Amino acid sequence: MPPPRTLLHRNLRLISQRTPSSRRLFSTPPPPPPAPQTPKDSRSRLHRLNDRLPPFLRSYTTPLLGAPATHITSFLILHEITAVVSLFGLVAAFHYGTGLPDMTSNSLFQEQTQRFGRWLRKKGWVEEVDVDKAVGVGEHGGDANRGSESESTQSAVLVEGEREGVRLILEFATAYIITKALMPVRIAVSVWATPWFSRVVLGPLGRGARGVFGRK
């Protein structure tokens, strides 16, 4: 019979052979590779936009459904550019101007004050107290019987010495409503400028990109 020390060493060796290493126990499988991003189908996007438009605006966009892909892409880019330029241009005009139109009677005003309040809060441009004050102003927009009170409330938060964040939220909400109201003009301008944008901007960019990647 082998001595106890020999038996102990033998048992420890058997246990170490059966027990997986700590590295294997605590190792985690590598994360799966991210799924490849599929490019947006411009034609499908134009179809969705066209379906949401009122009938009188479809007369502008429906002919584009059969246009070349460069024209469709040009229109969609121009449509986004006109929206961004209108939104931020109006915000700048309100911010550096002297007046802000009263939009408390508009049903979208409350929704947009909440939306832009959250967005500007995430950006760090306003504080939570600014969001609460701006939403409080927007809540008066749903009550048609309190029009004079709504107007006085909006004026109260815009007086000199009030928080700039409140004014900024109201400026974005007001600018968005006006930008949306300007959609017929924006679509007409985008359709009118589509052939020029496709020929002068998108065409050369596409040829330049093909030339660069073609040489690699």
Query: What type of residue is 72?
Result: I
Tens-digit pLDDT profile for the chain (216 aa)? 555 555 545 555 555 555 444 444 444 444 444 443 333 578 899 999 999 998 888 988 999 988 888 899 999 999 999 999 999 999 999 988 867 888 878 888 889 999 999 999 998 988 888 888 888 877 765 444 444 444 545 554 554 445 788 889 999 999 999 999 999 999 999 999 999 999 888 877 766 666 666 555
| pLDDT score of 88 | 96
Q: How many CB atoms lie within 10 A of CB 79?
A: 20
| pLDDT score of 79 | 95
d(CA 80, CA 92): 18
Q: What is the pTM of this model?
A: 0.69
Distances (CA, A) of 215 to 61, 85, 203, 210: 37, 36, 19, 8
| pLDDT score of 171 | 92
| pLDDT score of 142 | 45
| pLDDT score of 164 | 84
Structural contact between residues 146 and 70, judged by C-beta atoms closer than 8 angstroms: no
The CA angle 201-207-208, to the nearest 5 degrees, is: 85
Burial track 62-74 (b if 16+ CB lie within 10 A, e otherwise): eebeebeebbbbb
Listed by start position, the domains of the chain span 81-181
What stretch of H or E contains 105?
A: none
The alpha helices in the chain, defined as continuous H runs, are 4-18, 22-26, 42-52, 55-61, 69-96, 108-123, 128-138, 147-157, 164-181, 183-197, 203-215
* 71: Cα separation from own chain's centroid: 24
| pLDDT score of 99 | 77
Q: Quickly list DSSP for 188-207.
A: HHHHHHHHHHIIIIIHHHHH
